[in-house]
Amino acid sequence: MKTFTKDFTLQEPIPQEGIELALGVMQTGRLHRYNTMPGEKGYAAELEEAFAAYMGSRYCLACASCGSALYIALKSLGVQAGDTVLCNAYTLAPVPGAIENAGGKIELVEITDDYTIDIDDLDAKAARTGARFFLLSHMRGHMANMDKVMEVVRKHNLILLEDCAHTMGGSWDGKKSGTFGHAACYSTQTYKHMNSGEGGLLITNDDLVMARAIMYSGSYMLYTAHTARPDASVFEKVKKVTPNFSSRMDNLRAALLLPQLKILDEQCRRWNVLHDHMAARLKAIPGVVCPQRDPREGYVGSSIQWNLPKAGYADIETFIAKCAERGVSVKWFGNKEPNGFTSAYDSWQYFPYLATLDLPTTRRVLATMCDMRLPLTFSVEDCDVIADIIAEVVTEMGLR
């Protein structure tokens, strides 16, 4: 019986250049982003400049986490207490958490069999609710048809915030993920495409949105230390009426990230080699359904998802347990109870109505959907061992 012995949470080491930059920061003791010498930008400001340039965006703000970046972005875009925010029902808990933190009321939109937002349901709920705000989560790196999404955005005059925690380096039809809406947020948590342990990046081309975001993030009156920002005159409109939420990124984490940004595209290519090989192997297993991606989607396959349509609830529990016994870590967003990083929408009961909300397509898709990380510490040969184990468990359980 085959087993797998590698750790699904083990990432590659930080590039040596990042280690050296971080050591330099620690040797000076000037970790705080505003603790710099005269004429010195600091690594947080350098990272903001570099990421804005990479994205082709005018402005960038480095935050303590992607969740805090999402919250700040929602507030900066104008979300007020009680405002409805449209959002796809398949996402991670920090996304509804950011909406709750901003005082918004979440309106969940169905997903489709390919794990992306149901554009028809989005259209209908935008019309029914009169919502002004739309937080689109490109969950697990799956991008919807952004041409059609933007048709709905324009039709209803929605203010679009993209959650790109899983699509840094990705694109739709050649246009980078995060450049479709009014603002976008990215994650630099350990399991994402750049690793600083925790961190977030917020981009926008809007002067006022970025000025508010910098103030919200905790700049005090040191906003001129940001170099990927609008003119200082814009801050005069917001500096006395914008609370300080102390959600800054520090120079230490920025130092770790700067060298990683230089190799991001190559890392994305490497992830897709693993993803595409694993996808081909999974699609060859009878009983396993792995959705076909649109050729216009420039995805980054740092994880992979598939369905076991013949499995019931108990079957999925058994499947996950049997895979785990053989060293393969599979996650499940259809679990009745939140577990680890995964939770279904009906467990976000700080929005009370979600406990009884029925989204039949989303429930059906998530009920048999399996989720698995593909860290760059894996090889193509590792993917073969994992796929063999999954095939054996599927066969053993009669799920073909």
Residues with Cβ within 8 Å of 46's Cβ and at least 6 positions away in sequence, in order, are 254, 258
Beta strands in 196-246 (DSSP E): 200-204
**What's the pLDDT tens digit per position in 127-184?**
999 999 999 999 999 999 999 999 999 999 999 999 999 999 999 999 999 999 999 9
**What's the pLDDT tens digit per position in 40-80?**
999 999 999 999 999 999 999 999 999 999 999 999 999 99
Rounded to whole angstroms, the Cα distance separating 112 from 294 reads: 14
Rounded to whole angstroms, the Cα distance separating 309 from 257 reads: 40
* 38 CB-contact burial (10 Å; exposed 0-12 / middle 13-18 / buried 19+): exposed
Average pLDDT, the chain: 97
**What average pLDDT does this structure show over 377-383?**
98
pLDDT (0 to 100) of residue 263? 98
User: From residue 365, how far is each of 52, 137, 301 by CA, in Å?
Assistant: 36, 17, 20
Domains annotated for the chain, with CATH where assigned, are 16-262 (3.40.640.10), 264-396 (3.90.1150.10)
| Contact assessment for residue 99 and residue 51, using Cβ atoms and an 8 Å cutoff | no
**What's the pLDDT tens digit per position in 185-235?**
999 999 999 999 999 999 999 999 999 999 999 999 999 999 999 999 999
Q: 335 is written with which tokens?
A: 């679990």
**What's the pLDDT tens digit per position in 314-349?**
999 999 999 999 999 999 999 999 999 999 999 999
Task: Give the number of residues written for the chain.
Answer: 400
Chain-centre distance of CA 325, in angstroms?
A: 29
Rounded to whole angstroms, the Cα distance separating 20 from 70 reads: 30
Helix (H) or strand (E) run with residue 370 in it: strand 369-373
Rounded to whole angstroms, the Cα distance separating 202 from 213 reads: 9
| Contact assessment for residue 162 and residue 126, using Cβ atoms and an 8 Å cutoff | no
State yes or no: pLDDT of 400 exceeds 90. Answer: no
